[in-house]
Structure 1
Amino acid sequence: MQVLVRDNNVDQAIRVLKKKLQREGVFREMKRRASYEKPSEQRAREKAEAVRRARKLARKQAQREGLIAAPKPKVLKPRAASAAAPR
């Protein structure tokens, strides 16, 4: 994984890195590996994850076929005037 630091802005690069790690599931994996997980708990967790994935896939498929309505798009709020000013 690679993050470019522009204009020596390390804070922004750290935010970008954290967002990438979050998307990849690294933090969830670290939390899961922090302590021992019994094999029965592992099987139950993996099964629940598989069910969640299958439901999500079925929901997306139903939306594509028009069987259920797609979620409403999020409306972005306009930014503050000082932040939107050109540099």
Structure 2
Amino acid sequence: MIVRIMGEGQWKLADSHLVELNKLDDELLEEMDSGDEDGFRRTLNALLEAVRRLGAPLPDDALEPSELILPAPDASLDEVREMLSDDGLIPG
């Protein structure tokens, strides 16, 4: 699976990492629903760090279609809300 972090690039991750990413995505949704700005920021950074840690970065000139697109680390709560589907940022 190819994951894009907006403003940073793309990472290739094994599908087996979806469980960990979905857990963080669920936490992020809860914090967004409750308006917990500090928790939202902490969990968004943890989610992006997990992608960086678990994935292999693709070269900057690679133009692979991204299966997941995640917000930039400095995205606001409102900007992330606009990116959400019914399942959050990560389907499943």
TM superposition score normalised by structure 2 = 0.27
Q: RCO greater where, 1 or 2, for CA within 8 Å and sep 6 or more?
A: 2
Q: Which structure's residues are more often strand, by fraction?
A: 2
Q: Which structure's residues are more often helix, by fraction?
A: 1
